[in-house]
Amino acid sequence: MTALDPFAEVRAEFVGGLARRIETMEGALAGLAGRFDVQTAETLYRAAHSLSGTAASFGADDLADVAGDLEELARGWLQRGDALADEVRAAGAALKELDGAVRAYRVTAAAGSARSPAARLAVVGELTSLISAAVDMREIFRGAIEKVQRVLDFRRASVVLVDESGAHYYIQTLFDKARGGFVTGDAAFPIAQGLTGEAIRTGRPLRVDALAGTEGILLQEGRRISAMIVPLHVGDRVIGALNFGHEEEGHYSEDDLDWAVVLGRQIETSLYYSTLLNTIAQQREALVREHASVQGQRNQLEALIDASDAAIMLVGSDRRIAYANAEMARLVGIPQEAMVGAGVQTVHRFLRGSFVDAAALVSQENVLSLDASLRDRVELTFPRQATYQRVVAPARDSSGSLLGHIVLYRDVTHEVEVEKAKTELVSMVSHELRTPMTSVKTSLALLLGGAGGALEPAAHELLEVALRNADRLIRLVNDLLDLSRLEAGRMEFRLEQVALEDAVAASVEMVAAFAESRGVTLRTEPPAEPQVVRAERDRVVQVIVNLLANAIKFSPQGGQVEVRWWPEDGFVVTEVRDRGPGIPPDQLKLVFDPFKQLDSSTTREHGGAGLGLTIAQRIAQALGGDLNAESDVGKGSRFFVKLPAIPSTGTAA
């Protein structure tokens, strides 16, 4: 005897409300596609959060997992106050997956069905075996229809596919019970007409209780039938549809449609693997044809590597050295022929004693264990004291699969010495310039104040011009000194607890007059909870002032610059957003290079030496954080400062 389900009524209510939950989330996501709105994002978050928890309590793990993904996305948007386009697309894909999971859950949760859920689930398992057993598309379709007969009643079943033009669909596989099984069907129909065409165009399954028999499924004159149409997807494209028809009107229920959708998903999976296996077979044939030339290409590659003055080795996915040039063998200190085939740990044992900082080799070992890269400078004492540029990068085949890593060491000792000499020269010149420039500024200010007697209007105007330029030179000298100290690692920081709200307020106050003169409005959006970072207050203010001044310079008359901040993974992120012309993608990282302006017209129009963003980024990095940017050309730019957070219970060091 089967025990009664004590939660049957509540479970039925949950199943009945699933469609409404999906509609709520679809509506919220559609509202976020154009522009970000906090209330709409909150609606999506709450709906996903509620569904995730309720589904888990009913044991609907697939529903709970997908809803949880949507919940995490919406939570991130609420924390940042923004939804990136890629994330919105990911949420749309998750909603599509959630819709399929809902239909599958309805099938398994349906009570009192004339068709056993256990039997239907058994058919799902048998269909799954088609993934590994069948490769031919027609074999997949025939096998699926034969198995489905046991649990779904139909007179006719067919699979239709879209033709190459995309304007018509044709019958690929047709089963007619009255005619004894599979029959030949070569009819074609326009996608722009009929219910099957509608399902293909919209990508949505349909259930019809009274369909005219001449509309393409049963083809019976003068009769009205019931039908179900499930579109078939491969990737983002609808390639056809799975159709079922019965001679009785109203024969199919919503549960039957949900079941048909589950079958469609299984067939889609089989189609995907069928396509994949065919692709692999084609690639295998291509590899056989190309094998004769591979060895010659390998010899050419090895010759190029050997000719390089950099030390290079290839580490395979099995963590063995696939190849090493003579320079790498010299750096490690063992014969080249002994390196090839050796384990990477063996090579590292020889290298370890050469590193000035032993921890530098640990980072290389970690990267070689991951699908990751590394780019830095290290100092070695063997075969001589030298500084090397080190690059560890993943190596992939044409399909993107990881083959191993390339490890490269290039001697940059001379470059480092030149950079050091340049930095010291800039520091010395800047320091020597600051004192006389300060004296010049003081003298000009005294003259303007009347210390030398009354001034004619023309003389007064000339002195004001000279004073403004003296201020500009002093700011440039101070920036050069800051940059040289940062590059040399000589800038000292007195770390303390810094309240972001106070630092932002001080920064806004400093640039308020500049913003007013440009007709730009400043707006701040503090988070609900106060945020504190470990940094030096004056340097935090310096970073934010640089970003604000930059945003104001590039904002249009009457524009707005926004500042907001929020906690994120042990850091506090501060965003400065403008509505200026934006930065082209290929130049986004260049804005942090010293003396870099996007073009000469920018320099003429807005002024500046191009050091503000460089200094701001170097300060943020020296404080244990970072500074980066995002931009949409024609819509504005967003700069993000990340600094280490201090929990509300933390104390100053």
Q: Check residue 388 and give its pLDDT.
A: 94
In this structure, how many other beta carbons lie within 10 angstroms of the beta carbon of residue 201?
12
- CA gap 573, 137 in Å, rounded: 52
- CA gap 436, 425 in Å, rounded: 18
What is the mean pLDDT of the segment spanning 321-348?
89
In this structure, how many other beta carbons lie within 10 angstroms of the beta carbon of residue 475?
14
* DSSP letter assigned to residue 309: S
Most confident of 179-183, 335-339, 439-443, 570-574: 570-574
Q: Check residue 35 and give its pLDDT.
A: 82
Which uninterrupted H or E stretch holds 169? strand 168-176
- Pick from 509, 528, 494, 532: which is nearest to 650 by CA? 532
Residue 411 in this model has a pLDDT that exceeds 60: yes
* 578 contacts 558 by C-beta, under 8 angstroms: no
What is the mean pLDDT of the segment spanning 420-440?
68
As a three-state string, the secondary structure of 468-495 is: HHHHHHHHHHHHHHHHHHHHHCCCCCCC
Q: Check residue 407 and give its pLDDT.
A: 94
Residue 82 in this model has a pLDDT that exceeds 80: yes
- CA gap 196, 167 in Å, rounded: 13
Strand residues in 193-310 grouped as ranges (E)? 206-212, 224-234, 237-246
Distance of CA 48 to the CA centre of its chain: 21
What's the predicted TM-score (pTM) here? 0.38
Choose between 194 and 612: higher pLDDT.
194
- Characterize 296-312 residue by residue with b for buried, 16 or more Cβ atoms within 10 angstroms of its Cβ, and e for exposed: eeeeeeeeebeeeebbb
Task: Give the lowest-confidence range in 4-13, 58-67, 344-353, 559-568.
Answer: 4-13
- CA gap 211, 226 in Å, rounded: 6
pLDDT digits (tens, 9 = 90+) for 511-569: 898 899 889 999 999 999 999 999 989 889 989 998 998 899 989 999 999 999 999 98
Distance of CA 98 to the CA centre of its chain: 21
Task: Give the lowest-confidence range in 120-124, 218-222, 247-251, 460-464.
Answer: 218-222
For residue 166, name the pLDDT band (cuts at 50, 70, 90): confident
Q: Which domains does the chain have, with CATH numbers?
A: 8-109 (1.20.120.160), 117-277 (3.30.450.40), 308-411 (3.30.450.20), 416-488 (1.10.287.130), 496-644 (3.30.565.10)
Task: Give the lowest-confidence range in 469-478, 481-490, 602-611.
Answer: 602-611
Write the burial class of residue 188 (CB in 10 Å: 0-12 exposed, 13-18 middle, 19+ buried): exposed
What is the mean pLDDT of the segment spanning 420-436?
66
- CA gap 626, 612 in Å, rounded: 15
Return the amino acid letter for 11. Answer: R
Task: Give the lowest-confidence range in 90-99, 379-388, 426-435, 577-586.
Answer: 426-435
Q: At what angle do helices 18-34 and 38-57 cross, to 10 degrees?
A: 150
Tokens of 105: 């859950």
Tokens of 423: 């930095």
What is the mean pLDDT of the segment spanning 370-391?
90
